[in-house]
Chains A and B, each alone.
Chain A
Amino acid sequence: MRPEDIAVSGLKPSDEVGQYALRLGDDALILAQRLSWWISRAPELEEDVALGNIGLDQLGHARSFLTYAGHAWDKTEDDLAYFRREPEFRSAHLFEQPNGDFACTIARQLVASHFQHELYSRLVDSADETLGAIAAKAVKEVDYHKDHSVQWLLRLGQGTEESRRRMIDGVKLTWPYVEELFEDDDLTTALAEQGVAVLPSELRESFDAAIAAAFEQADLTVPTDPGASGGGRRGHHSEHLGFLLAEMQVLAREYPGASW
């Protein structure tokens, strides 16, 4: 479902459903912003286009989720993207982590796309039709993101000595942020009981299996380091999100209502 369709649908989600859509929208929005940094900076022209495409897909998902969430509080997607402060963002810590080198970005993308794929492929059956429709469109795109990151995990993992070292480092830097993605809380538990949301903990097993298969193929080991503290769903963020938001929001805040 395109953000334009949602905007005219006038469907008003409950506050709870809005909060849930906001989380999913924030994950995608922050990841899109991170990926856009790569445009003109990727290691190859073809990869520049690929990362740009993935970023745009994520931005599209973010717009749909945020438009729908905004209807709960009479706000637009722009209000939510550009005029919220850091503690009001509900994205998980994974998505705001710095790009690092190409391998680090691939490691983050690997986790993000596998998580989103598990989530969206179940959310298509949501009791909330709008969430289901957004997920149905998004899951096809995320399927491609998953393939892209696995292909690069294999190539970097089995490339040169240096590329393998960087892939291992990237994975190690990323893994503390995996745990948070699969934590249930009051909101997801309540909405899952109504058949609206997907319980994050239920995604873990198939996520682990898919990740293990990819790592085995790349002859790499899945890290077992403990997870970081998390808290993104409650608005507690790492030191990175504030800088990202300052850059992302500066134009909209400097010239409110501007269009071009």
Chain B
Amino acid sequence: MIPRAGHSVLRQARTQLNRRTGPTPIASLSALARLLSSLAVLEQKDGKLNHGSLGAVTAAQKLGGSITGFVAGGNIKAVAAEAAKVSGIEKIIAVDNAAYDKGLPENYAPLLVENIRKGGFTHIIAGHTAFGKSLMPRVAALLDAQQISDITAIEDEKTFVRPVYAGNAIATVESSDDIKVITIRGTAFAAAEAEGGSASIEDGVDPKAECTTEWVSENLAKSDRPDLATAGKVVSGGRGLKSKEDFDRIMLPLADALGAGVGASRAAVDSGYADNSLQVGQTGKVVAPQLYLCAGISGAIQHLAGMKDSKVIAAINKDADAPIFQVADVGLVGDLFDKVPELTEKLKQ
């Protein structure tokens, strides 16, 4: 752990250097970078590393300093070996205990805290995923740190950028905590390269904390289509689809024609046209694909919060005044029941 004074010294020193050489990435100031050490909390499921969680490594690279990856679960060796190949990681801490398989925060948080204390890390980084959202605030509280959630950019080792008010404002915050506990927005930090690294693997400490919660079951939507959160293209349907049958009949062929993931507005999800897990927006998934093509979505700000960082937005809506057209790069006013099948056919050609 770096005492609080350490930070201001670090900052001062860098300001001096910046004056001479202009803005310098932290990583290149090796003497200072050595003071920073980040722990990237990596997710695993059924003995496989979740590559979506490698954005934490990318964020750690932006901070500079050493990067350690953390994995825990039963038969963790294969996951640790996979994580050791991730570019940029120096060391993997692995805890082999099936009690951590389901990532239950009640025992995972004390586990992480023990390893953070032992390793003296200055920054703890995880994805703002269901796992990260449930675990990291608990870790932060145990470390008496105020977590910084869902960041989209790193300015320096204690200054971070995060959207608030459903993305309608962007706040820059400076943390005075000794240990920074951070979750990152996946769409803002691309996953680190899964190959090219050669980290050492070390056993972590295992406090074997008691857990008053047990995992019972899960019910995950099965789909061969690209995962919504990481898909390069997303097609999304809203209330205008009118029924689940129409949603499936109209939107799914378009998704297949484009090789796209499928999303939905809250209205479509609440009306039962699409599964909950497909919801895009403030309370659902945040996506930022190359192409976001939506039909029958008016563009409420809660929905825009989940997709407005998409590279290209295309919209089909019969209401020419729908707010979605204010953000769409390509807008088409028309009945989606005609236009979407026509689009699907023409894309197939």
Q: Do A and B interact with each other, yes or no?
A: no
> A-contacting residues of B (Cβ < 8 Å)?
none
> B-contacting residues of A (Cβ < 8 Å)?
none
